[in-house]
Amino acid sequence: MFKKIAALFGGKPALVKGAGKLKEGQAKVVTFGDVLAGTATQVMFSRVDGVLRAMNAICPHEGILMNDGPVAPGGHIVCPMHLYEFDIKTGREKGTHCKNVKIYKVREDGNDAEVWI
């Protein structure tokens, strides 16, 4: 039932093998599509407060790929370029320096996960 509703309103989810294995404080970037062709979406998966999260891995400040973590205290990811911090739960930038990061709906399924990008 859930999959049918999601397909109607959020498109078809992408399966990410092993994403459910991330431990608290870990993050991992997964690329969907072709980076060289400019069609890629890079998504950072992480676990904060026991919940698997997914956010766009490209910093909205200057388009830098944010690293694979680790997750900073308070559930933030820190961009390696200018050290802006983004809340993994909401995508909000901690200060007022730039736009927020896009957050994606994600659902754990055992060791794997489904993400709607």
**Could you say whether residue 29 binds ligand FES (CB under 6 A)?**
no
Nearer to ligand FES, 21 or 76 (CB): 76
Query: Shortest gap between Cβ of 32 and ligand FES (angstroms)?
Result: 21
**Residue matched to tokens 């870990």:** 26
- Sign, CA dihedral 58-105-71-24, equals negative
Query: Shortest gap between Cβ of 35 and ligand FES (angstroms)?
Result: 17
Member of 3, 12, 17, 82 binding ligand FES (CB under 6 A): 82
Distance, in Å, from the CA atom of 29 to the CA atom of 49, rounded to the nearest integer, reads: 19
Q: Which of residues 83-102 bind ligand FES (CB under 6 A)?
A: 84
**Residue matched to tokens 């957050």:** 103
Distance, in Å, from the CA atom of 30 to the CA atom of 76, rounded to the nearest integer, reads: 18
Number of neighbouring beta carbons within 10 Å of residue 53: 23
**Could you say whether residue 6 binds ligand FES (CB under 6 A)?**
no
Contact residues toward ligand FES (CB under 6 A) are 59, 61-62, 64, 79, 81-82, 84
